């Protein structure tokens, strides 16, 4: 199986030993605690689950700046984005060196992790501007990722963590949330050697389904891991339980047995386009995938990124040898009226735009809200019915 990034074995930061876990939970009750941001909580979950291997905890400012500017930490290791714990103030900690981090996304704000503090630093406006520019390629406050990143405090608390909980993800999505450890184990149990991963934050229409089949066929893969984002999205995105139901129905009906896994991970979407595509590849390698599908405007939002920037960044900016996972580069896929099948649009010779079945997201939402299924060339009827039920429930 493909090795994790930066180590021979996966080193999740979740405390799995039940006796040690109980002891730490008891200790946490007596420690000074601080509420962290939703973004920091997502980072803690990803470290706990092994996706951010081999990070040991939250970065200090020097490492965060290195990740932003060169995708390289001060020790020379590779990481594509800053992983910071930013708070408004650390004054309430009173100089403590060991603290509890509390979850902002669950009722009662339970302890998410324990941290051994190595540094408490102030992030300057200039440093925030540099990180924002390098990671998001824009300073526009309307960009949802820029708004979330800059909406945190300017005090960075860094140090190793021991993760005690997977936030709401394991509770709310018990059938879907999987750690990198669990996915690696299931890949091994299924006997898959060559595995392609597909990222989604939306239900999968016919074009997405066929893109996965294309990638599997062309790469000669044993299996596909559909890996959906379960964390916070932008307004208007379809809730995770609805996406989950739609995708599971598609796999049940249209994929061969033992050819596809439906899984999810807990993280707040960055919408950082190219840089987030590298992060997505990073943690897919950690979960055991050998290949990763990156399509047009992967992880983008609005018009901030070029159509294929998320692919070319692997050629132009990712340090040589940083990742072993291979990228499957895709264009838009759509139903060809000429060929009566889904094709990658860049491979369809002698086609004009009108030769494809193309529907805007607005049009699809309007149809679903009115109880009308999109054409079979766009969406599987079983999937469409689940989405119709959701949209009509909003009326």
pLDDT, position 237: 76
Catalytic residue at 178?
Answer: no
Among the residue ranges 178-192, 223-237, 345-359, the one predicted with the least confidence is 223-237
Annotation marks residue 53 as catalytic: no
Task: Give residue-wise pLDDT tens across range 279-294.
Answer: 999 999 999 999 999 9
Q: How buried is 361 (Cβ within 10 angstroms: 0-12 exposed, 13-18 middle, 19+ buried)? A: exposed
Asked whether the predicted pLDDT for residue 39 surpasses 70, the reply is: yes
pLDDT of residue 233: 65
Q: Which fold has domain 18-170?
A: Sulfate adenylyltransferase (3.10.400)
Strand 119-122 to 111-116 pairing: unpaired
Stated pTM of the model: 0.94
Going by pLDDT thresholds of 50, 70 and 90, the confidence category of residue 172 is confident
Amino acid 234: pLDDT = 66
Residue 107 has pLDDT above 90, yes or no: yes
Task: Give yes or no for residue 50 having a pLDDT over 80.
Answer: yes
Q: Write down the pLDDT at residue 394.
A: 85
What pLDDT is attached to residue 194? 97
340-381 pLDDT, tens digit each: 999 999 999 899 999 999 998 889 989 999 999 999 999 999
pLDDT single digits (tens) 231-283: 766 677 788 889 999 999 999 999 999 999 999 999 988 999 999 999 999 99
Of the options 3.40.50.620, 2.60.450.10, 3.20.20.70, 2.50.20.10, the CATH number for the domain spanning 174-393: 3.40.50.620
Residue 137 is predicted with a pLDDT of 97
Catalytic residue among 98, 154, 201, 365: 201
Q: Kindly report, residue by residue over 288-311, the tens digit of the pLDDT.
A: 999 999 999 999 999 999 999 999
Rounded (5°) CA angle 188-56-293: 45
| Residue tagged active-site, from 119, 154, 202, 365 | 202
**Phi, psi angles (nearest 5°) of residue 144:** -60, -35
Return mean pLDDT, the chain.
95
Q: Enumerate the domain spans of the chain.
A: 18-170, 174-393
pLDDT the model gives residue 269: 87
Is-same-fold flag (18-170; 174-393)? no
Instruction: Please state the rounded mean pLDDT for residues 127-135.
Output: 98
60-76 per-position pLDDT tens digit: 999 999 999 999 999 99
């Amino acid at each position: 199986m493909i090795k994790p990034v930066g180590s021979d074995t996966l080193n999740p930061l979740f405390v799995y030993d039940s006796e040690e876990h109980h002891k730490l939970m008891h200790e946490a009750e007596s420690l000074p605690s601080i509420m962290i941001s939703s973004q920091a909580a997502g980072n803690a979950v990803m470290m706990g689950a092994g996706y951010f291997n081999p990070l040991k905890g939250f970065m200090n400012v020097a490492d965060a700046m290195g990740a932003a500017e060169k995708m390289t930490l001060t020790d020379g290791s590779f990481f594509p984005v800053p992983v910071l714990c930013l708070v408004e103030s650390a004054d309430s900690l009173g100089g403590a060196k060991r603290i509890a981090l509390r979850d902002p996304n669950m009722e009662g704000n339970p302890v998410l992790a324990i941290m051994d503090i190595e540094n408490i630093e102030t992030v300057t406006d200039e440093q925030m501007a540099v990180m924002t520019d390098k990671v998001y390629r824009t300073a526009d406050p309307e960009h949802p990722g820029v708004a979330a990143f800059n909406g945190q405090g300017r005090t960075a608390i860094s140090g190793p963590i021991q993760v005690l909980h997977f936030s709401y993800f394991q509770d709310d999505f018990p059938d879907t949330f999987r750690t990198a450890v669990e996915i690696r184990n299931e890949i091994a149990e299924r006997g898959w050697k060559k595995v392609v991963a597909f990222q989604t934050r939306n239900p999968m229409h016919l074009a997405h389904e066929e893109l996965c089949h294309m990638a599997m066929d062309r790469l000669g893969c044993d299996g596909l891991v559909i890996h959906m984002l379960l964390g916070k999205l932008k307004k208007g995105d379809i809730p995770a339980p609805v996406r989950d139901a739609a995708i599971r129905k598609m796999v049940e009906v249209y994929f061969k047995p033992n050819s596809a896994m439906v899984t999810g991970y807990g993280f707040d979407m960055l919408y950082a386009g190219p840089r987030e595509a590298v992060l997505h590849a990073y943690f897919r390698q950690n979960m055991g995938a050998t290949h990763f599908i990156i399509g047009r405007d992967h992880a983008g939002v609005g018009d901030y990124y070029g159509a294929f920037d998320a692919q070319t960044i692997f050629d132009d900016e990712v340090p040589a040898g940083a990742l072993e996972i291979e990228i499957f580069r895709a264009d838009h896929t759509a139903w060809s009226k000429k060929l009566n099948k889904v094709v990658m649009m860049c491979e369809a010779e002698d086609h004009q735009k009108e030769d494809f079945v193309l529907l805007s997201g607005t049009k699809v939402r309007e149809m679903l809200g009115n109880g009308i299924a999109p054409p079979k060339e766009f969406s599987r009827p079983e999937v469409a019915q689940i989405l119709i039920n959701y949209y009509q429930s909003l009326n």
